[in-house]
Amino acid sequence: MTFYNQDLKIINNLNSLLIRHILTNEANSLLLFGSIGDGDLYSTTAKINLVEMVSEITEKKIPILIGIYSDQVDDTINQIENLGKKFEYLSFLISPPLSEKQSEEELKSFFENILGSNTIKNQIYLINNPPLFAGNEIDSNLLDYILQFSNLKGIIDAFYNIKNCKSYIQNLSSDFTIICGMEQNSQTFLQLIPIDMRKYSGILSSLSNISNMSSKLYNYGIEDNILELLQIQEQINDIRDKIYEVKTNDVREKVGLKYAFLHLYRDLISRTDTDINSIYKELQTQIDPINRERIEATVNYMQNNKQIYKLYFLGKKELYQFDEIINTFSKIDVLVEQGKVKKIKGPYIDTRNILYRVNFEKSRLVFRFRTSQFNYLQNLIKEKLLYPFLDNSLNPNDIDLRNKVKEIINTRTGEYIFNKDNPPIIPVCNLIYYDETKEVIPNIFSVQEYIRGKPLFQLINQYISEGKNLATKRFLNLFSNLGEQLGHLHEVKFDSYYNNINDIGKKKKISYSEYFENELEHRLQEAKKNKIDFCNEIRDFYRDNNSLIDDETDYVLLHNDFKSQNIIVKEELGIVKINGIVNFDIWCVGSRAQDFIKIDYWILKPLNNPSFYNAFYNSYSKHYKVNVDFKKKIDLYKLVWLLDEYNLESALIKKSDQMEIMKSPQFSLENYLFEIKAIIR
């Protein structure tokens, strides 16, 4: 199939992805502009551009055919000449006349004039599909006649007439290929052919635009594996019914397959692209909601059952077969020891990373690829420096702290596996491997253990959607445990603040109060540009409470993104247990009050349950006294964070005319303003 915009311009990036996907799903030749490729819509220039792109992707290592359909002999010859002179390796698929049924003698003359042209040197294939080409049929007599031309190398038969197909097979040889063009009859077609001759046959499958099933069927046919051959044909027929069953006047295969492909790569294909967004919306209007859901479910099922091999992406441009990624890690002993890859789930995308969960024979691991280039700090696997503090392998009071930190930062590859006799102070996963060199792939990456469970917010949402009572002992215990874990983390104390973890161990040039005031003022200046008209009131609030910052001397290790998305829980036998804390991408060293902002704003406040609030804070109080001044300090940090979020969303809204960024952004702004005003009042 071919993706094009409303101006009939081929969309290069989308078709490039499609071609790579088809090759990943084991096609061993390509037909451009087949029956669902809309070849009659394009100029020769457009076809040249597509052939060039496909040739670059395939590196000319597999046969490429291009469909030429016309009523006129001269037009067909001209198209073949123009493309054939430029691409000597290109083969052509030609059809009988499109619009008028002709006699056998007229068809002989039509093909004889084309095949006999002295200027055509490329290999030629014919297509026999009478319903598509005005009832014109290439019968056995006609084929026998035109076989005199040595550049005729095969025929694609739509298999409407099994007697006709059997007659074609008599001509099958290493010099003449018979290809089945009706994928629902592929199994029958292969079984008509003697086993030793099947290697000269082929299958043309529309479903191969997304699936590897026809490739597998063909291989089973070559092996004469009858049981598998029958089973996979049944599966293909079932999948066809689910994907092609759409109500449209257009070619059903094209509509269903295009929607299936866009769904498969929905996380990679930007809906902010005008052309792609237009295609997606047009397909949605052509397919009713029930059939759309069925196509989506079918694609998900096929991927899970390895009937689709998906390309995996690590950013906007880099696309890989996951085998390629795994193979690059083949020298890493700890990964080789895990056995073969059984299943891949993902991508899971956050603002900085793309994650895949990979099930090996012996373990489950999470591959984390840093794709954001937000700033130079993104070029560091943060866990490699964090973990030594969590098991006291690295002591903040060490006289040689700075040199040890520099040594860790400069180590570009490695691992960090916790000793069972000396576990970390909070539940975190082992760092199986990391690589910051960008030599293996163009991103820094880490491989970490998979923590069983689900993010806390998912469990809470599940309870709410199922009408279950959250106010139970299990959740009180959970929030108490949450406060305890945060308290454990904050037991790691430093003699200074370090917003940039690269600087740990360095002497600070400005005091913490100066640093905080500079951060606040920077955000206020930005907020003023974004139409906040009460910046002076915020400054007054800070001046009234700045003694809390001036007196700050207690600096601890901060998660700095301590919220329900990063807390993995598992419910077993009536107990909700914290199985792990994840995502330390913005960890730093600073005031412990800073770590209360997000858990309070995103969880405790929306749940509006004093018992949860008390359980969390009372548990934390065993590690540090939570009094009125401490809560006021939390408000100061929350104020800075809210201003930051307000400025960020304001910037995003300014781009919203060009980009689909978020749902109801104005609501978020109003909510942030409300919270800021609530604090300063």
Confidence of residue 173 (pLDDT cuts 50, 70, 90): very high
- Averaged pLDDT for residues 196-214: 94
Report pLDDT digits (tens) over 222-244: 999 999 999 999 999 999 999 98
Instruction: Flag whether pLDDT at 663 surpasses 50.
Output: no
pLDDT at 654: 67
Residue 175 predicted with pLDDT over 70: yes
Q: In what order do the strands lie in the sheet with 588-591?
A: 493-494, 555-558, 588-591
Range of the domain at 484: 454-680
Q: What is the pLDDT of residue 516?
A: 95
Mean pLDDT for the stretch of residues 235-256: 82
Residue pair 440/447 in contact by the 8 Å Cβ criterion: no
- Give the residue among 577, 579, 583, 543 at the shortest CA–CA distance from 563: 583
Torsion sign across C-alpha atoms 301, 304, 310, 316? positive
Please give the helix or strand (H or E) that residue 163 lies within, else none. helix 162-169
In this predicted structure, what is the pLDDT of residue 276? 87
Residue 497 pLDDT level (bands cut at 50, 70, 90): very high
Contact indicator for 649, 670 with CB cutoff of 8 Å: no
Q: Does 551 share its domain with 674?
A: yes
Q: What is the CATH number of the domain that holds 348?
A: 3.30.200.20
Q: How many domains does the chain have?
A: 2
Asked if residue 376 has pLDDT above 80, the reply is no
Say whether both 583 and 485 belong to one domain.
Answer: yes
Judge whether 662 and 652 are in contact, CB under 8 Å: yes
* Cβ–Cβ < 8 Å for 149, 155: no
pLDDT tens digits for 328-355?
Answer: 777 777 888 888 887 777 777 777 888 8
Dihedral, CA of residue 14, residue 17, residue 18 and residue 20, to nearest 10? 160
CA distance linking residue 608 with residue 602, whole number of Å: 11
State the average pLDDT over residues 532-558: 92
∠ CA 491-496-498, rounded to 5°: 90
Domain annotation covers residue 673: yes
Quickly state the pLDDT bin for 168 (edges 50, 70, 90). Answer: very high
Predicted confidence band at 394 (pLDDT cuts at 50, 70, 90)?
very high
More confident residue, 624 or 36: 624
pLDDT of residue 271: 67
Domain identity same for 496 and 517: yes
Are both 437 and 495 inside the same structural domain? Answer: no
Instruction: Assess whether 506 and 531 both reside in one domain.
Output: yes
Residue 668 has pLDDT above 80, yes or no: no
Q: Are residue 418 and residue 472 in the same domain, yes or no?
A: no
- Domain contains 618: yes
Q: Indicate the average pLDDT of the chain.
A: 89
pLDDT at position 318: 65
Based on the fold, state whether residues 583 and 501 are members of the same structural domain.
Answer: yes
Residue 343 is encoded by which pair of tokens? 């299943």
Query: How many other β-carbons are positioned within 10 Å of the β-carbon of residue 586?
Result: 15
Pair 397, 522 in one domain: no
Residue 654, domain member (yes or no): yes
Percent of the chain with pLDDT over 90: 62
> With 80 as the cut, is the pLDDT of residue 503 above it?
yes
Please report the pLDDT score of residue 341 as a whole number. Answer: 80
Q: What is the pLDDT of residues 421-471, one digit of tens each?
A: 999 999 999 999 999 998 877 789 999 999 999 999 999 999 999 998 888
pLDDT in tens, 113-159: 999 987 888 899 999 999 989 999 999 999 999 999 999 999 999 88
SS3 of the chain: helix, strand, coil, percent, to 5:
50, 15, 35
- Where residue 486 sits, what CATH number does that domain have? 3.90.1200.10
State residue 664's pLDDT score.
Answer: 40
Measure the CA–CA gap between 647 and 669, rounded to whole angstroms. Answer: 9
